[in-house]
C-alpha cells in the first residue's frame, strides 16, 4: 500500500508546497456528464436490470451529456460471460463516450490476476484517465485498495501519484471515478463493507487535498450518499438495479461550471420508478 507514513506525509507536504492550487474547478467550458452506478445485471432480477440499463441508455441519449461514467458493479455474478456480453451490447448503444470503473462484483471481493485479466479482456482497462474541457478524470480500481493485491495495488498507487502530480501541474481540476467510496458520512468512520480501510482512506484524502481533486464519484452503496471533505465533493449515487434507500431507478447528471462546488441532480428513469 502506498508508502510509509513518514514518506507519505513528506511527499504530500512537498506536493502542497509546490502546487498550492485553489480548488476552484476551472473547466475550460461548461459541460455535463452522467454518473451511472451499479447496473449490476442480475442484482434486481436479470431481465429487469437489462431493461433498466437499456432505459438509462435511451434516456441519456435524449439528454445528451458529454459522456457517461459507470461507477462499477457492471454485472452481479463475477464469472458470468453472458452478463458481460449483455452489458457490452447495451453499453454500445450510448451515443456518447462511456467510461467504466471496476466493482467488486466484476472482479470479486478477493480479486486474482486471472480475474483482473478477464475483466481487462472483456471490459477494458481498470485504471486509466481521460481529459475533457480542461478537467482530468482518473478512473481507479478501488478493489485494489479494499483487498490489496501484490504488484497491482502498488502499480495503481504509483500511477495515481504521477497522474495527480501531472494534473496539478496543468492546474486541471481532478475527478476521481471508482466503485467504493472512501467514506460514507464521516472521514473518521470505522471501516465496514461500504467504505475503504481507514489508513488507506487517510492517505487518499491527503493526496486528493494536495492535488486539486474536486469530486469523487462512486457507486456500491445503492443509495444516494453525498458528503464534503475540505471542499471535495463525495457522491455515491443510486442505481438502475436495486436501491436500498427507496430511490427510483436512475442516474445522476453533473453540471460542470465555474466555480466548484458543482451542481448535480439525480434523474429517475422515464419508465421505471420503483
* Assigned domain for 116 exists: yes
Asked if pLDDT for residue 171 goes beyond 60, the answer is: yes
pTM: 0.91
- Indicate whether 274 belongs to any domain: no
**Kind of pairing, strands 128-132 and 250-256?**
unpaired
What is the DSSP-derived secondary structure letter of residue 41? B
Confidence tier at 14 by pLDDT (50, 70, 90): very low
Q: Is there a domain that residue 87 lies in?
A: yes
List helix spans (H) across 72-181: 81-91, 104-107, 113-122, 143-146, 152-169
> What distance in Å separates the CA atoms of residue 178 and residue 99, rounded to the nearest whole number?
11
Q: Using one digit for the tens of pLDDT, what is the confidence trace for 26-85?
A: 678 899 999 999 999 999 999 999 999 999 999 999 999 999 999 999 999 999 999 999
Could you tell me the pLDDT band of residue 2, with boundaries at 50, 70 and 90? low
Q: Domain for residue 176, yes or no?
A: yes
Stated as kind and residue range, the H or E segment containing 61 is helix 46-63
Lowest mean pLDDT of 86-100, 189-203, 259-273, name the range.
Answer: 259-273
CA 15/CA 142 separation, integer angstroms: 23
In a domain, 104, yes or no: yes
Query: What pLDDT shows up at residue 11?
Result: 45
45 domain-assigned: yes
Q: Note the pLDDT of residue 29.
A: 87
What is the overall mean pLDDT for the chain?
91
User: Where in the sequence is the domain holding 172, given as residue range(s)?
Assistant: 30-258
State the Cα–Cα distance between residues 19 and 33, nearest whole angstrom: 27
In terms of Cα–Cα distance, which of 129, 99, 132 is closest to 29? 132
Full strand arrangement of the beta sheet holding 225-229: 128-132, 135-139, 174-177, 213-218, 232-236, 225-229
Mean pLDDT throughout 232-256?
Answer: 97
- Cα 195 to chain center, whole Å? 13
CB 227 within 8 A of CB 211: no
Residue 122 falls within a domain, yes or no? yes
107 or 21: whose pLDDT is higher?
107
Structure confidence by residue, pLDDT tens digits, 103-157:
999 999 999 999 999 999 999 999 999 999 999 999 999 999 999 999 999 999 9
CA-based nearest residue to 124, from 149, 158, 88, 177: 88
**Any idea what the CATH number is for the domain that residue 172 is in?**
3.60.21.10
Is 266 inside any structural domain? no
- Domain count within the chain: 1
Amino acid at each position: 500500500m502506498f508508502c510509509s507514513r513518514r514518506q507519505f506525509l513528506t511527499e504530500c507536504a512537498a506536493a502542497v508546497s509546490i502546487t498550492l492550487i485553489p480548488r476552484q474547478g476551472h473547466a475550460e467550458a461548461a459541460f455535463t456528464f452522467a454518473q451511472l452506478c451499479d447496473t449490476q445485471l442480475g442484482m434486481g432480477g436479470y431481465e429487469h436490470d437489462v431493461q433498466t440499463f437499456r432505459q438509462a441508455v435511451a434516456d441519456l441519449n435524449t439528454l445528451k451529456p458529454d459522456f457517461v461514467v459507470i461507477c462499477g458493479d457492471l454485472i452481479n455474478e463475477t464469472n458470468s460471460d453472458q452478463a458481460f456480453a449483455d452489458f457490452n451490447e447495451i453499453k454500445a448503444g450510448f451515443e456518447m463516450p462511456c467510461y467504466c470503473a471496476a466493482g467488486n462484483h466484476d472482479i470479486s471481493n478477493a480479486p486474482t490476476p486471472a480475474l483482473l485479466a478477464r475483466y481487462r479482456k472483456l471490459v477494458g482497462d481498470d485504471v486509466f484517465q481521460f481529459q475533457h474541457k480542461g478537467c482530468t478524470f482518473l478512473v481507479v480500481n478501488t478493489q485494489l485498495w479494499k483487498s490489496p493485491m501484490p504488484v497491482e495495488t502498488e502499480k495503481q498507487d504509483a500511477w495515481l501519484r504521477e497522474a495527480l502530480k501531472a494534473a496539478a501541474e496543468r492546474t486541471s481540476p481532478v475527478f476521481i471515478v471508482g466503485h467504493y467510496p472512501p467514506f460514507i458520512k464521516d472521514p473518521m468512520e470505522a471501516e465496514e463493507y461500504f467504505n475503504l480501510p481507514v489508513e488507506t482512506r487517510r492517505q487518499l484524502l491527503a493526496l486528493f487535498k494536495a492535488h486539486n481533486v474536486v469530486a469523487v464519484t462512486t457507486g456500491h452503496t445503492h443509495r444516494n450518499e453525498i458528503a464534503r471533505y475540505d471542499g471535495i465533493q463525495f457522491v455515491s449515487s443510486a442505481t438502475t438495479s436495486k436501491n436500498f434507500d427507496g430511490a427510483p431507478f436512475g442516474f445522476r447528471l453533473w453540471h460542470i461550471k465555474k466555480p466548484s462546488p458543482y451542481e448535480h441532480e439525480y434523474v429517475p428513469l422515464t419508465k421505471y420508478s420503483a
